Structure 1
Amino acid sequence: MSLNNKDILLKANTFVTEGDNEGFLSLCTEDIKWEFVGDKTLMGKEAVRAYMKEVYVEPPEFDVENLIAGGDFVSAIGKISMKDEDGKVIDYSYCDVWRFRDGKMAELKAFVIETKPK
């Protein structure tokens, strides 16, 4: 089960980096919950769709350093780079904790920190 969930998450990340938001959303439950710790929470597929359309001006680039799976959960640790509304690339470190239900991503708790050049 855990390996399958890891594969689903890797496939979802591939969809995002290819700009295929609908492919990503096909791997999510209708009632998906995205919590950006310390910021906001998105409830449902439509809210996630709207967020992706607004924030992913260009597809982000992921560097997944570790995937840790146990039961219905997969944690991804890594780096992500995205362009802001002015076209400037912003780098972040992240830890995403995903909960799966019936083979789909049902909940995300995202810890995201902007990383500044040294």
Structure 2
Amino acid sequence: MNNKALLEKANSAISQGDYEGFLIFCTDDTKWTFVGDQILQGKEEVRQYMAKTYLEPPKFIVEKFIAEDDFVTAVGIISMKNEEGKTVDYSYCDVWRFQNGKMAELTGFVIEIKR
């Protein structure tokens, strides 16, 4: 399976609320950098982030994938509920680096869409 297909499968798991199924696609030392916000180091920090942030499974609309070498970039819209239960839409660009068939690093740019 190529890296783009791996990311699509991982995103499908997360959209179904299968966070452990998503984490199977990550290296143990995965690093997530949300530019201008926070850095998560390792599966346990990602697991805690998901438990806190994804009150319901997020919904992804991927507008495009760009894949080259060990990198896949996904651009689109992610919708998720905030603490008040209101659905908020965000524009995102995720740059994933793969290592040995797993997601090793994420650099994410996430901006709330004001309506």
Sort the TM-score into its range (normalised by shorter chain).
over 0.9
Match of 1:80 among 78, 81, 88: 78
Q: Which ranges in structure 1 are unaligned for 5 or more consecutive residues? A: none
Q: Which ranges in structure 2 are unaligned for 5 or more consecutive residues? A: none
User: What SS does the corresponding residue of 1:48 show, helix, strand or coil?
Assistant: helix
Match of residue 30 from structure 1: 28
Report the TM-score, using the length of structure 2 for normalisation: 0.99
Match of residue 92 from structure 1: 90
Match of residue 4 from structure 1: 2
RMSD (Å) for aligned C-alpha atoms: 0.7
Match of 2:48 among 40, 44, 50: 50
Match of residue 69 from structure 2: 71
Report the TM-score, using the length of structure 1 for normalisation: 0.96
Q: 2:53 corresponds to which letter in structure 1?
A: V
User: What SS does the corresponding residue of 1:29 show, helix, strand or coil?
Assistant: strand
- The question of 1:112 aligning with 2:110 is answered yes
Between the aligned residues of both structures, percent identity stands at 63
Aligned structure 1 segments of 4 or more residues deviating by more than 3 angstroms: none
Match of residue 41 from structure 1: 39
How many pairs are equivalent? Answer: 115
Q: CA deviation at 1:51?
A: 0.3
